[in-house]
Amino acid sequence: MTRPEQLQTVAILVPGHFNDHAVERIDRTFRRVGIERADPSLVTDEMRDNVRAIASFGGISAAFMDALPKLEIVASFGVGYDSVDARHAGDHGIMVTNTPDVLTEEVADTAIGLLINTVRDLPRAEAWLRDGSWQRKGNYPLSRLTLRGRSAGIFGMGRIGLAIARRLEAFGLPVAYHNRRRVEGLSYPYHPTLKGLVEAVDTLISVVPGGASTEKAVDAEILSALGANGVFVNIGRGSTVDEAALATALAKGTIAAAGLDVFADEPNVPRALLDATNASLLPHVGSASEHTRRAMADLCVDNLVSWFSERRSITPVPETAHVKARC
Ligand code: NAP
Ligand code: 8YV
């Protein structure tokens, strides 16, 4: 147990720019140490001797952890932690926490907004009004696509996938899903393969975590199986998609349209996707409201407070759930 006044001696390393509310709370409670980025070559002797925690947006490698021998916990901001080497952390007695649940509804709202933007072309319709085309040229052309009559497939029926499914149900769309495992007690049709899912639906929403098991899972074959009336929405991770294959599928009409909030190499978006007029693009704003980012910041810092005052974390990731505090 560490008393509140002792927490102020605990050094928390914060790489780069971080959420303002989280920084404010860390400054009030702990001793914050800044570093330009999570690069082992930038670790000083002072950091090596003192840093017991990292609070970050992700991007924590095994080498960076190894450069900090006193490191006990990585509090990652966000539910997806594919850019933190959690397996290495678990093997070396380091706790990793993330921020699940508090962002679920916000991200599901964004997914639905992105889907509607994609099928009904709303961003271009608004641009038509703003640039005076409505007055000069008349009504905006009818949208080629509609949600009416569509059937949706969720790739990743987890917390956010389920919140999206519930919304789609309210919109009158039948829903099916693919995970590695069937979700017990869930009545939506389950497909044991992604190919099977896309053959059964015309609207694919990807909300799986990034990482090796989902790397480029949505490839040319999957897009072709989705079909010419197909709509693909990605609110999960850009690494899940073969972006070159997606750009080709959009250009050739292999699928009808795509809505993308996430990209493989953010903030760099491939030119072919920027040029695709049948794509609706967002700059990774799934959880990006002040309300939800504040809740994520609180959970991120609450994990640090709990770890150093009660010696347990609140939301450990599965790879480090076994890790115990050292004393
Ligand atoms: P979650 O509850 O852990 O759900 C993930 C789901 O994906 C699980 O149902 C899991 O089921 C499935 N899955 C994992 N690996 C798979 C694989 N290889 N093949 C098929 N299914 C797989 O996570 P969540 O809270 O819903 O968040 C999901 C992801 O959304 C995050 O990891 C993050 O990448 C992304 N996200 C994006 C934003 C944004 O701003 N765009 C915001 C928040 C989250 P099985 O284990 O049974 O396969
Ligand atoms: C955030 C996210 O944009 O939670 C996630 O996995 O992708 C988003 O909520 C991100 O975590 C902030 O860095």
Going from the first residue of the chain to its last (327 residues), give the mean pLDDT of each consecutive group of 10, the final group possibly shorter.
Answer: 80 98 98 98 98 97 98 98 98 98 99 98 98 98 98 98 98 98 98 98 99 98 98 98 98 99 98 98 98 99 98 98 91
Q: Does domain 4-100+290-320 have CATH number 3.40.50.12280?
A: no
Residue to probe by mutation, ligand 1, list 77, 79, 110, 155, most atoms within 8 Å of CB: 79
User: Would you call 294 a catalytic residue per the annotation?
Assistant: no
Note the pTM of the prediction, 2 decimals.
0.98
The two domains 4-100+290-320 and 104-281 share their CATH topology (first three levels equal): yes
Q: Could you tell me if 263 and 289 are in contact, meaning their C-beta atoms sit under 8 angstroms apart?
A: no
Which own/partner pairs from 177-182 qualify as long-range (CB within 8 Å, at least 24 positions apart)? 177/153, 178/153, 178/154, 180/213
Structure tokens at 127: 């641009």
Domain boundaries, given as residue ranges, for the chain: 4-100+290-320, 104-281
Closest residue by Cα to atom 13, ligand 2, is 57
Structure tokens at 237: 């991770």
Give the whole-angstrom CA distance, residue 97 versus residue 267. 25
CA distances from 198 to 40, 162, 220, 222 (A): 43, 18, 12, 7
Nearest ligand by distance to the CA of 58: 2
pLDDT at position 5 is 63
Atom of ligand 1 at shortest distance to CA of 157? 9
Is the Cβ atom of 195 under 6 angstroms away from ligand 1?
no
Closest residue by Cα to atom 2, ligand 2, is 78
Q: Could you tell me if 148 and 310 are in contact, meaning their C-beta atoms sit under 8 angstroms apart?
A: no
pLDDT at position 163 is 99
The CB density around residue 285, as the number of other CB atoms within 10 Å, is 15
Query: Which is catalytic among the residues 24, 46, 169, 266?
Result: 266
Q: Could you tell me if 315 and 296 are in contact, meaning their C-beta atoms sit under 8 angstroms apart?
A: no
Superfamily of structural domain 104-281 = NAD(P)-binding Rossmann-like Domain (3.40.50.720)
Atom of ligand 1 at shortest distance to CA of 80? 32
User: Would you call 24 a catalytic residue per the annotation?
Assistant: no
Atom of ligand 1 at shortest distance to CA of 288? 40
Q: Nearest-CA neighbor of 299 among 99, 49, 95? A: 99
pLDDT at position 4 is 66
Is the Cβ atom of 78 under 6 angstroms away from ligand 2?
yes
Q: Could you tell me if 202 and 226 are in contact, meaning their C-beta atoms sit under 8 angstroms apart?
A: yes
Cα 317 to middle of ligand 2, angstroms? 15
